[in-house]
Structures are given as C-alpha cells and as structure tokens.
Amino acid sequence: MVDARIPTGRRPRYWAQAIKALSESDAVLADIIEASRSEGLRRRSDAFTMLSRAIIGQQISVKAADSIWQRFADLCGGVTPDRVLAVGETKLREGGLTRQKAGYLVHLSEAARAGRLDAPDWSRLDDESIIEELVALKGIGRWTAEMFLIFHMQRPDVLPLGDLGLRRAINLRYAEGRTLSLDELNRIAAPWRPWRTVATWYLWRSLDPIPVEY
C-alpha cells in the first residue's frame, strides 16, 4: 500500500520550488516560511495507517488522538488490516474506541484487505477523483480525503478549507483574527496556486510548535 515513488520521511521534490514561489509572491507567507524553512511535509506511513490515524483523530484533540492511537496499536500488536480484523470490533471498543470509529476501522481493514487501497493508478487520477474514491468508504469524509491527498499522496495544490486550523491561521495572519467568509478565504488563497498544499502546511505550522503529521 506504499507507493515507492514517494519516499517516506523526505520532503516532496517540489518543496524548494514552492517555498521560493510563495515567498516571492506573498509577504505574510514569506515570514512564516522563513521561521520554519528547514522543515516541511514528510510522508509518515502507508495508506492504511494514515487513514486509520485520521479516523481515530476525528473530532478529538491531537493529544487525545495520540493516546488512543497508541492503545489501538498496542492492542492490535501493530497496525495492519489483518491484525485489526483479528482483534475485532468489540475488543476495539473495549480498547477505548467509540462504536462508530471501531466500525469504521473494521470497514477500512476489510477494504484494504480487498485491495481497495492498493491503487497504483491513483497517481494518474486528479484530486477530485481520488476524493470520490475515498469518500465511498465508511468513515472517510472530504476532510480525511484531503488529508490523504496532502500527507500520503503529497499532492501540491490541496486547499482544505473545511479544516478549522487552516481557517484560523488565515484569519489570524491575513485579517487580524476576523472571521473571513469562504469567498474571502478563496481570494486570499488564489495566488498560492499551484502550491496551496505548501501554503497550508506552513500556515498550520505557524499555529503549532509541533509539525502536523499523519
């Protein structure tokens, strides 16, 4: 389930080009990028692990998600579809997952074992087509699919405006904390094309001393 063409742990090849372009075109981003220039988006795991993390992290704090993830990984003895299915939904719930999330993880495991996450041709699909494939799975909404595009596929031009952290960062950096409308957010982000993923990552980074990872 790992695309060998995208090395784990390395920044995307386009990163240097993107931060140069964004720094030259946007003074706000230039300052944010300069503060964390040596850092960047890095692929952490395979598709199944990334989506499992995203499901567990839905609607809870990062700290709580990390704690539950560790219990989940320990319970399964490692995160693979076969091991999650061997544990089963009941024991997953006993391990601290809600009924809904336990069910989502079992469904995701079944889909992975059936080969639905083995998608070598996804590199030829556009972003919206990949989102459509993912949201057909239980527990995967648009936000989770966009996180997949950013953190697993490392697509360069994803703008997840449903993400509260990104909206908060734009409001703070571009509007002195005023809540901007969706149209205003899109207007601010338009000049970031085709590097909106990179702008998003640094705006997240401006809010948190720990880089966002999945």
Residue pair 189/25 in contact by the 8 Å Cβ criterion: no
Nearest to 139 by CA among 74, 78, 62, 48: 48
Compute, in degrees rounded to 10, the torsion defined by CA atoms 170, 133, 195, 190. -60
| CA proximity to 168, closest of 141, 206, 214 | 206
Residues forming the active site:
163
How far, in Å, CA of 100 to CA of 98, rounded?
5
| Half-sphere exposure at residue 116, Cβ-oriented, CA atoms within 13 angstroms | 17
CB atoms within 10 A of CB 7: 14
